[in-house]
A and B are shown apart, each in its own frame.
Chain A
Amino acid sequence: MQNEWLYIGLFMLVGVIIPIGAITVAWLLGPHKPNPVKQSTYECGIETVGESWIQFKAQYYIFALVYLVFDVETVFLFPWAVALGKLPLFAVLEGVLFILILITGLIFAWRKGALEWV
C-alpha cells in the first residue's frame, strides 16, 4: 500500500513543478514595467474607498461550523458503508440510528434559524 502513496507523493511533486514551470515561463517572457497606477487595487475603475476589510458577517462562520459537524459524521459513515455487505441487518440499523441522531441536529439548527442567510 505504501508504494501507492509513494506514487501519489511523486505525483504531487511533479504536479507542483509543472504549474511553477508555466508561471516561470510567463514571468520570463512578459514585460516588467511596474508603475503605481497599474499596481493599485482594482475597484471598478475608481480609487479605493476605505480600508480593505469587510464587515464581520457571522453567517460565514456558522455555516462552516455546521459543515464541520456534518463532515465528521459523514466520514464516520465511510467504514460502515464499506463493510455494509458483510453486516447483519442489526448493524445497518445502528448506522441508520447514527444518521438519524444527526438529522435531529440539522432540524434543530434549521428551527433555530442557524441556516438562514440574513
Chain B
Amino acid sequence: MNFWNDPINFITMWLRNQFGGWGMADWLVNVLLAVMGIVVLIICAMMLDIMLVWVERKVVARFQDRFGPNRVGPFGLIQPFADIIKLLIKEDITPIGADRIIFNLAPILAMTAVLLLWAILPLGSVIYGVDLNVGVLYIIATGAIGTLSIIMAGWASNNKFALIGAFRTVAQMVSYEIPMLVAMLIPTILAGTMSVNGIVHAQNVWFVILSPIGVLIFIISAIAELGRSPFDLNEAESEIVAGFHIEYTGMKFGMFYASELLHTFTFGGFIATLFFGGWRGPFAETYPLLGLFYFFIKAMFFYWVIMWVKYSMPRIRIDHMLAFNWKFLTPLAFVLLIVTAVVDKVLAQTNYHATGMLLANIIVGWVTIEILRIHARGLRKKDDIPAQPSTQAAHH
C-alpha cells in the first residue's frame, strides 16, 4: 500500500508508528487518530464553506448580469475572509425577553447538524469518515436536528415574525421529508443496502439512468428541505423580514448562513452520491484522490444547479407549496416506488434491467403529464363558464 492507492490508511499507519514509538497506550492512539481525522474533515468542510460564500456571490452576480465582488483580492477571492472578520467583530445583541439558553443553542445546533453529515459522505473509494450501515436514514436524522434548531431560533427570539417564520419553515421542511425519504428508498432498493458507500459501489450503471424521476423528486425535495428558493419562506426577506433569524447578529447569524450554504453543498454531494455515481469515474478505484476530484466536480455541479433554480424562479406561496407536496409529489413518489420495486424484482437478473427501469420511469412520467393535462383542462373549463349573468348584474 502506498500513498496514492490508499492515502488515509497510509497516513494512519505512519502516524500509528510514530505514536507507538512514543509509548502511548493503544486505545489512546486510536482515539487520537480518530479525533485528528475528524478535525481535518471539519476544517476542510469549514474552508469549503468559506469558498462557497464567494461562489454564491459571484454566481448570483453573473445571473443578474453584474460582476459581483471584484475589489478585495484577485476576482474578489478574499471577500469571504473580509465577511468573516466583519461578522466576528459585530456586537452580540440578545433581545429583551429572549430565552437566553435556547437563543444561544440554536445556531450551534444548526451548524452541528450540517457538520455531522460529513461523517458519512464518501469522498473517495477509501476516503470517508465512517461507513454506517444506516447511512440513508442518518441523513434524515441530521435534518431533524436542523429543523429543531430552526424552531428553537424562532421561539427564543421573542418576535412575532420569527415565530411565524419558524412555523412556516418547519411545516415546509417537515412536509418535504416524505418525498425525500421515498426518493431515497429508490437507490436503497436498487443497491440493496442503506449504507451510502454501498450505494456508490453498486452503481455500475448510474442510478440516474435507472430512475430519472427519482432524481427529480429528490432534487425538488432537497431544495425544499434546505429552505432555498423557490421554497425560501423561512427567510423571505420581503415577506417576513428574514424569518427565524431576525434577532441574530454577528457570528450567530454567520452560523445560520454558513450552515445553509454548507448544507446545500452537502446535499449536492448527496445527489451526486446517491444517483450520479459519487466518486466513481475512470481510475477512481486505484487512485482515491482522483475519486475525490470527481466527487467534488459533481457536487459543485449540483450546487450550481440548485443555485440556478434559486436565482431563476420566484418564490412559491405557502399554500401552493404544501399542495404541491401533498397532492403531487407524495403520490407520485409512492407510485414510483411501487413501480420501481415491482420492475426491479421482475427484471432483476435479466439483461433488460436498465432499459426496463428507464422505460417504466418514462411511462410513469408520461402518465403523470397526461393526468396533469386533463386536470388543467378541467380547471380551464371551469374558468371559461360564460360570465354574462354577473356582468349584467354589474351594469344594473
Q: Do chains A and B touch in the complex (CB under 8 A)?
A: yes
On chain A, the residues within 8 Å of B251 by CB distance are 22-23, 25-26
Q: Give, as a whole number of angstroms, the nearest-CB distance from A102 to chain B.
A: 8
Q: Which of B131-139, B303-311, B380-388 contacts A (4 or more CB under 8 A)?
A: B131-139
A11 touches B119 (CB 8 A): yes
Q: Give, as a whole number of angstroms, the nearest-CB distance from A19 to chain B.
A: 4
Bound complex: CA A4 to CA B130 (Å): 6
**Beta-carbon contacts of B135-149 to A below 8 Å, as 1s and 0s?**
011000000000000
B119 touches A26 (CB 8 A): no
Which chain B residues (198-235) contact chain A, with CB distance < 8 Å?
A: none
Q: Give, as a whole number of angstroms, the nearest-CB distance from A108 to chain B.
A: 12
Q: A44's closest neighbor in chain B, by CB?
A: B241
Q: Give, as a whole number of angstroms, the nearest-CB distance from B258 to chain A.
A: 9
On chain A, the residues within 8 Å of B92 by CB distance are 26-27, 30, 32
On chain A, the residues within 8 Å of B31 by CB distance are 10
Q: What's the count of A-B pairs with C-beta under 8 Å?
A: 202
Q: A74's closest neighbor in chain B, by CB?
A: B181
Bound complex: CA A102 to CA B111 (Å): 35
A32 touches B91 (CB 8 A): yes
Known contacts: A23-B255, A32-B91. The answer to whether A84 contacts B137 by CB under 8 A is no
Bound complex: CA A87 to CA B212 (Å): 25
Q: A82's closest neighbor in chain B, by CB?
A: B194
B158 touches A41 (CB 8 A): yes
Q: Which among B35, B111, B163, B241 is the interface contact of A10 at CB below 8 angstroms? A: B35
Is B260 at the interface (CB under 8 A from chain A)?
A: no
Known contacts: A23-B255, A36-B96, A106-B330. The answer to whether A7 contacts B181 by CB under 8 A is no
Bound complex: CA A38 to CA B107 (Å): 21
Q: Give, as a whole number of angstroms, the nearest-CB distance from A80 to chain B.
A: 9
A14 touches B164 (CB 8 A): no
Is B178 at the interface (CB under 8 A from chain A)?
A: yes
List 6 additional contacts besides A30-B90, A39-B93; criterion CB under 8 Å: A14-B39, A41-B158, A52-B158, A74-B178, A78-B194, A85-B348
- Seen from chain B, the residues whose Cβ lies within 8 Å of a Cβ on chain A are 31, 34-35, 38-39, 42, 46, 87-97, 104, 107-108, 111-112, 115-116, 119, 129-133, 136-137, 157-161, 163-164, 167, 170-171, 174-175, 177-178, 181-182, 185, 188-189, 192-194, 241, 246-247, 250-252, 254-255, 318-319, 322-323, 326-327, 330-331, 334, 337-338, 341-342, 344-346, 348
A-B pairs with beta carbons under 8 Å apart, 28 shown: A4-B131, A10-B34, A19-B255, A22-B255, A23-B107, A26-B90, A26-B250, A36-B96, A39-B94, A39-B96, A41-B96, A43-B161, A48-B160, A63-B171, A63-B175, A74-B182, A75-B181, A78-B188, A81-B189, A81-B341, A82-B192, A84-B344, A89-B346, A92-B341, A92-B342, A95-B341, A96-B338, A106-B331
- Seen from chain A, the residues whose Cβ lies within 8 Å of a Cβ on chain B are 1, 4-8, 10-12, 14-16, 18-20, 22-23, 25-27, 29-34, 36, 38-44, 48, 52-54, 57, 59-60, 63-64, 66-67, 70-71, 74-75, 77-78, 81-82, 84-85, 87, 89, 92-93, 95-96, 99-100, 102-103, 106, 110, 115-117
